[in-house]
Amino acid sequence: MIRASDTDRSATVVPKRASRPRWLLGLRAVALVGSLLIGELLSATPALAQVGLGVEFSEWGFDDRAVPRKFNLLTFEIQNKTGKPFDGPIRLRRLFGTSPTGVELVQRIYLPPFQKRVVQFTPYVFDHSDEWELRWGDTLKDTYTVEMARLGIGSRVMLNDPLSTSGLASGLRGFREDRFPNSVIGTDTLLCAALDHTPRWEAARRSVFRDWLFRGGVLHVFHGNDGKFPKLPVDELNSAAQLTRLGSGRIYWHEMERAQLRDDRTYVYSKIYPTAPVVVPITDLQNISDTSTVDPTSREFTAQLSGNSFLGTYSEWDSDTLIPQSLRDFVQAQVQHNWPLIYLLAISYLLLIFPGGPWLAKRLDYRLNLLALVVLVGAWSWFYSAVGSRGYGERTSTQALAIAKPLPDGRWDVEQWSGVFVTDGDVYTVMHQGEVRNYSGLVKSGERVDGFVNNGRDGRFVVDIPPFTSRTIAHRAVVEMPGPQFKVLDAAWSNDGRFQRVTVQTEGEFPTKVHAAWLIAEGQICSIAPSQLRGKTELTMARPVTPSQFFDLQQHGSNHFRQEESAESFFQRQQPILIARDIGIRRFVDRDGFRLPRDVVRLCVYADLPDELACRNGKQPEETMGVQQGRVLYSFDLPVTPPAKTDKPNDPGLELNLGGE
């Protein structure tokens, strides 16, 4: 860009001519500057217009549906329609009506001229659907609005090679493998995947696929065009023995090709859909409690789940509200004010203004009277700032709650909520450890946050926090940290089919103090002693209770606990809230319908938050955001082999090796 100072210097070197007056030379200089500026503006206008982008398509998740209370994959295909490269940020934000709300998600991309590329975000979706806006400029032409997503329970898809295969005509929706997410957080809504070929993935996507399967994904493997099982992107599955379990994930082998499924819809519904059940039914539309047997490509499914409100009933156990609210209440309850002194200062101030002000006016010169008024106002402003606006002994601190699930190679999939309280107002860069980090600002509808989020490997939350206030945030991360592993040695059931005990070998130890532990099997919950979680041990379902007995919803919704309480008492009250989040309890009716698959026993361990999960200051990553307090719920899915049941032929815990029929 031509600066005015540059053009001024060019004007001063114009040689003087005696035959021309000075005013004419000045006029020529002004004309030269004006012509250069006008030319620059004219040349800049089309340049600005040429950096525009266009969105070819957008898609939620793996089947164009979003799942509430999860980080959802949102895929865009963006095209550069101009002859100049685009190198800059693109922003995604939630809309409340027509106004932006929450915090912006920001990515920086480079797009060559006339080229396309796939860009993926992972925004957090609450219990309702909203419109989202993608923006890459400052004008209305530089925006793209994503319509309200249809909400669902999760995706069951067939992975397709975009060069050679397409989706099935019915039964399973196809998903292009080149759009598979590059972080395990983006796979949260994928319940089940079918595969009949070797995906052309780089190492990063192969690792993500392995993490998804290990964490609890369900994989169905079919013969390829050569009549053989393909080489899979998970090395452990390419051995001669056809593994049926990998971590918490399940693998099913089908002696048939994908083409045979086109004419056998019954096989899809009986052998594939029930293998990826939803533990707690999460839709009550038209009195339907489970959509696992409904074809997602059919009109019937679209009619059932076409709305934007996921639940027709009130959610009494909504962890998206309870956890942030509990953290905020706990932080604010710790702020102590010296109310007697505040009241005394207020009364003194009023008395000094009246009748003190008129009394001084009669006895002092007006100039001294004005000076006294200024001193009075300034002094009491300082008093209120030092005494009334805050308590005593406060310091920057962070209270956190987290749920951690194991991944391969000593890594953990962590979901965490942090309440950050600061005494000095500033623009803070909030960060956590982890190879992948996704953040979400937990705000009320319509509230706009002064900040932005970068998600991914350099994930961070940049936000303005005023002094003596707090900001509650949620994030997901893949973190490498120490922790135990459990190997199942044996399991037993009673004659009537009820789970009784599991024998495990504990390898490693918990890095922090363990406060409580529970064993969850089918529809029962049992407390166990933390001291049992060492070496070879037998965990028994002694005196189990039902979820209805375990969860006391009325108590945790009481305003009584918004008063000051000890940290130990506060974190103890959060135990059932985190367990409810972990197993999917949201409503009263969920407690009665909850039931884990018979081939899984869940072990939940409640412990102090380790240093690896501390909230850190991004400007000085070696420093934490003040004093750290928190708890983490470790959640382990232990694979077991239950006795066969003849009355449930499609139970996912019974038949792990499915052949063609």
Band of residue 484 on the pLDDT scale cut at 50, 70, 90: very high
Domain ranges of the chain: 4-50, 53-151, 155-277, 339-388, 485-604+635-639
Return the percentage of the chain with pLDDT > 90, whole number: 42
Distances (CA, A) of 129 to 104, 133, 144, 152, 191: 17, 13, 17, 11, 20
Q: Please determine, for residue 502, whether its predicted confidence score (pLDDT) is greater than 80.
A: yes
Q: Is the pTM of this model over 0.95?
A: no
Sign of CA dihedral 427, 432, 437, 441: negative
- Residue 524 CB contacts under 8 Å (≥ 6 apart), including other chains: 498, 499, 541, 544, 545, 546
How far, in Å, CA of 92 to CA of 144, rounded? Answer: 9
Fold for domain 53-151?
Immunoglobulin-like (2.60.40)
Evaluate whether 97 touches 186 at the Cβ level (below 8 Å).
Answer: no
| pLDDT tens digits for range 108-121 | 999 999 999 999 99
Give the residue-averaged pLDDT of 342-360. Answer: 83
| pLDDT tens digits for range 189-205 | 999 999 999 999 999 99
| pLDDT tens digits for range 511-548 | 999 999 999 998 899 999 999 999 999 999 989 999 88
Band of residue 50 on the pLDDT scale cut at 50, 70, 90: very low
Band of residue 335 on the pLDDT scale cut at 50, 70, 90: low
The pLDDT of residue 334 is 62
SS3 249: strand
The pLDDT of residue 25 is 45
| pLDDT tens digits for range 542-599 | 899 998 889 875 454 444 444 567 889 999 999 999 999 999 887 777 787 788 888 8
The pLDDT of residue 519 is 96
| pLDDT tens digits for range 425-476 | 899 999 999 999 999 887 666 577 888 999 888 899 999 998 878 889 999 9
